[in-house]
Structures are given as C-alpha cells and as structure tokens.
Amino acid sequence: MKAGINSKTGSKRLSGIELLRIVAMMFVLLGHSYLRINSTPPSEAVGSNCIKSFLDVLLSCVATTGVDIFIAISGWYGINYKPQGLLKYIFQVLFTILLVYGFSIALHIVSFDTGCIKVCLTFYEGYWFVVGYLGLYIISPILNSFIESATKNEYKIVLLSFYIFQCYYSWLSSWYDYYNAYSVLLFAGIYLTTAYLRKYPISWLEKHPVKILVGVVLIMTTIAYTFYALSGHYARQIRDDNPLVILVSILFLFVFKQLRFHNKLINWFAASCFTVFLISYHPSIYPNFMIIMQELYDNYHGLIYGAILILSLMSVYIACTIVDQLRVFTWRGLSKMIFRKG
C-alpha cells in the first residue's frame, strides 16, 4: 500500500501523508476485526439505542475509506513506474507470505499443502488488493501520460464518464462483475481523480477540507442509518465504489496534507503499512486473529472495549512493523547485488 509512491518534498518525506497511511491501515484493521464482528447494529438497538447504532454506522462509513485513501495518495503523488519498484513490490509480497508460512508451519499452526502454494501465487481472495494494486502499478505509465497530455476538458469528460459507468454498473446495480467494487478500474478512477485535483486545484476544497469532511461523513452516515432503520440494509453506502466513500477518502488526503512536518518514527512505521496488511490478513494468521477479536468483543463493553480494541490493533501494527524489518534488511542487500552499477 506504498510501493512506488513518491511523497517527498525535497529530500524529506512529508510525515503528514505518512501519518495518513498509518491511519488508513488502522481503518483496514478495524474493518477486518470489529466491523466483521459487528457489521450491522442489532435491529432492536436501532430503536432502543439510536446513538450507539448511529456511531456504529458512522464508524463503518469511515473505516470503509481505508483502501481508497491509499489509492488517493498514489494518485496525488503519482506512481513512478520502474522495474526495480515492480520487483520490490513482488518481493515484498512473496517474502512476507513465505515468512509467515514458515513460522506458522514451524509452530504447527498450519501444515504445508496446495493451499499454501495458491496463497503464494496470490490466488486468495483476501489478497485482492495485492493484485489490484499490481494492476494499477503496471498501467500507471499510461495513466500518467494521460494526466500530462490531456486538456482540462478532456480530463473532465473522462472522469465524468468513469463515474457514470462505475456508479451504474457497479455501485447501483452490481450488474457488471466488479468484484464487489474491488477492481483495477476503480483504482484507476480514484488515481485519476486525485491527480486531477492536484493539477487543477479547487480553492474551496483546499481551504475547508475539515468542514467538508465532517459534513460529507455525516451525510453518508445519515443515509446509511436511515435506510438500515427502514429496510434493514445500508443502501450500498458502505462500499469502496460509493462516490461518497471516494470523496471522504480524498478529503482525508486534503486534511492530512496540510500537516507539513517531518518525523522519522512516523515515517518508519508508515513504510511497513503494506506488510501489516499482508501479515494480519494472512490465511494462517487471520482466523486466530479473529478468535482474539471475538473474545475481546464478548468480554468487554463500552469505553473499556474501545480502548482495548485500539491498543490491540496498535500492537498488531507495531509487531508487524518489527517483523517487516527482516524484509527491509533482506531487500537492501539483495537490491544492491541485482541493481549495482557497472
């Protein structure tokens, strides 16, 4: 969720955007834990405890933006396609998957079978992002050429056409097999959208991102909550292809890019956010992770549960980051041998 993305000013990496990567990864972890257990508020709670139910829906709406935020960052700074970057991305995926499998097999958590091979080849639906981002990386030179050469009117027409297409065939109808909104096409659309906003700034969006973010989140939450209270479903609000989710993701970017500071520790943690996803959602780890999350949900309540959940997810992030240093060290040595000059 970081490969090939340039978020630097001069020689220093902007920590505001790096902090957003961490926040987005926490949204993903939240979506893979609490929101899997409590995906919808109990029907009786909608009437008896409206505030808690509304907050649950609000949390679901915000956490859904995690993936779109990563793509929005890619579009804002642009993917600098290089064979080295592509190889680094593939190495990170394979090294992390194999490392986790090695530990899991050694500890008798799983046994080696054909399923292990399928996961290593990313034939595992939990790793849809891996394949989706790889596709975006591959086509990024084409997208970048369009961004540089298209006129403003041509750009507008393409974006308008994209959103009409994806809203009708994916978000509203699901007639087209869009893999539940997870596709390279969606990633390309978000990438082009944030690149457009960087090339052609909108003054009111630049000046008031926090106010607009709060307003849009409340609107999206109100729509989802109202439909759920009346019909028992979210009216397709909590999906990555919902235009409001995409807008909220972009607004998060505009909020955090205003934080122009540099912090080595934040940058260090942000550099491993993709590995956090790979490890936490690994098929030999995730079922056990969910057992723990379910136990926390069953045994704690209210603010105590919220505090323990956040601390638990932060601990997962920190542990994965520490493990990722083995991959960083290995790649540093390997890349020197592969790409050394002369």
For the whole model, what pTM was predicted?
0.90
pLDDT at 43 over 80: no
SS3 13: strand
Residues 249-285: tens digit of each pLDDT: 999 999 999 998 999 999 999 999 999 999 999 989 9
182 or 287, greater pLDDT: 287
HSE of 17, CA atoms in CB hemisphere, 13 A: 23
% residues pLDDT > 90 (the chain): 58
Instruction: State both tokens at 90.
Output: 């593939």
Residue 11 phi/psi, 5° resolution?
A: -105, 0
pLDDT value of position 276: 97
CA distances from 253 to 16, 266, 285, 288 (A): 9, 16, 31, 33
Kindly state the average pLDDT of the residues 66-87.
94
pLDDT value of position 236: 75
pLDDT value of position 38: 77
pLDDT at 7 over 50: no
The answer to whether position 3 is within a domain reads no
What confidence tier does 111 reach under pLDDT thresholds 50, 70, 90?
Answer: confident
pLDDT value of position 12: 62
Residues 24, 70 contacting (CB under 8 angstroms)? yes
The answer to whether position 2 is within a domain reads no
The answer to whether position 1 is within a domain reads no
HSE of 48, CA atoms in CB hemisphere, 13 A: 5
The answer to whether position 92 is within a domain reads yes
What confidence tier does 315 reach under pLDDT thresholds 50, 70, 90?
Answer: very high
pLDDT at 309 over 80: yes
Kindly state the average pLDDT of the residues 319-328.
96
Report how far residue 116's alpha carbon sits from residue 90's, in angstroms, rounded to the nearest whole number.
Answer: 17
Residue 9 phi/psi, 5° resolution?
A: -120, 115
The answer to whether position 162 is within a domain reads yes
Kindly state the average pLDDT of the residues 125-132.
86
What confidence tier does 5 reach under pLDDT thresholds 50, 70, 90?
Answer: very low
Residues 47-65: tens digit of each pLDDT: 566 787 888 889 989 999 9
% residues pLDDT > 70 (the chain): 89
Residues 241, 58 contacting (CB under 8 angstroms)? no
The answer to whether position 288 is within a domain reads yes
Burial zone of 339 (CB within 10 Å; 0-12 exposed, 13-18 middle, 19+ buried) = exposed
Kindly state the average pLDDT of the residues 284-298.
92
Report how far residue 324's alpha carbon sits from residue 269's, in angstroms, rounded to the nearest whole number.
Answer: 10
CA distances from 169 to 51, 162, 248, 325 (A): 34, 11, 21, 42
Q: Which residue has the tokens 């509304």?
A: 54
pLDDT value of position 230: 81
Residues 281, 32 contacting (CB under 8 angstroms)? yes
Domain around 257: 8-339
The answer to whether position 223 is within a domain reads yes
The count of structural domains within the chain is 1
pLDDT at 324 over 90: yes
128 or 146, greater pLDDT: 146
Kindly state the average pLDDT of the residues 196-215.
94
Indicate the average pLDDT of the chain. Answer: 87
Instruction: State both tokens at 152.
Output: 């403003």
